[in-house]
């Protein structure tokens, strides 16, 4: 906020005013956190989707009986498989970072290249582009995030796009 005032409005701020703004915005944030914590954090119905896989692993390691032994055995097998499999994504798949079939069919068309991407990664808009790079494929952590959480993330992205696209198009900012 202070940098914006200085950059765009050419208003210099005094150190006392800067400290006041810093403290007041921090206190407002802490106040909202204190008010909302009983509902969002301390509620027994609160679900943290990214913690479920870690909680299952820790429960399996700390438990006794036959079921935790099966979980640990499965963990060892999956760990060995993933360790061997990581060789392929680390060395081979970054070469296939972006594969665009429309660009392979019509490589000379600038319209197709600007819409569907090109030979280089992050070229064009990337419609219907496939990526085999492990960093891009697993960016949203689809294996650890439940389907309802992914649906809520997608819904929030769509709503945000529907709000900001007209605002940017009509120069509201």
- Residue pLDDT, tens place only, 67-96: 777 888 888 898 898 888 877 767 776 677
In a domain, 79, yes or no: no
Last residue of a domain, one of 46, 63, 80: 46
In a domain, 116, yes or no: no
In a domain, 13, yes or no: yes
Which tokens is 7 given?
Answer: 């950059």
**Would you say 75 and 57 are in contact if contact means Cβ atoms under 8 Å apart?**
yes
Last residue of a domain, one of 29, 46, 63: 46
b/e 15-49 (16+ beta carbons within 10 angstroms → b): eeeeeeeeeeeeeeeeeeeeeeeeeeeeeeeeeeb
In a domain, 102, yes or no: no
* pLDDT score, position 120: 65
Say if residue 150 is exposed, middle or buried (CB neighbours under 10 Å; 0-12, 13-18, 19+). Answer: middle
Kindly give, in sequence order, each residue whose CB lies less than 8 Å from that of residue 22, ignoring residues fewer than 6 positions away.
none
Average pLDDT value for the chain: 80
Domain span holding position 35: 1-46
* pLDDT score, position 2: 83
In a domain, 129, yes or no: no
Share of the chain above pLDDT 90, in %: 14
* pLDDT score, position 26: 93
In a domain, 127, yes or no: no
In a domain, 122, yes or no: no
Higher pLDDT, 67 or 36: 36
Predicted TM-score (pTM) of this structure: 0.33
Which tokens is 18 given?
Answer: 């800067």
- Read off the pLDDT band of 31 (50, 70, 90): very high
Last residue of a domain, one of 9, 30, 46: 46
Q: How many domains does the chain divide into?
A: 2
In a domain, 86, yes or no: no
């Amino acid at each position: 906020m202070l940098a914006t005032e200085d950059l765009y409005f050419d208003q210099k701020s005094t150190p006392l005013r800067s400290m006041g703004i810093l403290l007041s915005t921090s206190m407002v944030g802490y106040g909202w956190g204190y008010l909302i914590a009983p509902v969002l954090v301390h509620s027994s119905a609160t679900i943290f989707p990214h913690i479920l896989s870690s909680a299952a692993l820790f429960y399996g390691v700390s438990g006794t009986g036959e079921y935790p032994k099966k979980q640990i055995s499965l963990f060892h097998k999956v760990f060995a498989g993933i360790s061997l499999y990581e060789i392929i994504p680390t060395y081979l798949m970054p070469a296939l970072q972006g594969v665009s079939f429309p660009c392979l069919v019509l490589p000379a068309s600038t319209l197709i290249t600007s819409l569907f991407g090109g030979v280089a990664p992050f070229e064009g808009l990337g419609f219907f582009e496939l990526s085999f790079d492990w960093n891009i494929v697993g960016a949203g952590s689809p294996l650890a995030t439940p389907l309802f959480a992914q649906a809520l993330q997608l819904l929030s992205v769509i709503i945000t796009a529907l709000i900001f696209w007209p605002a940017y198009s009509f120069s509201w900012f």
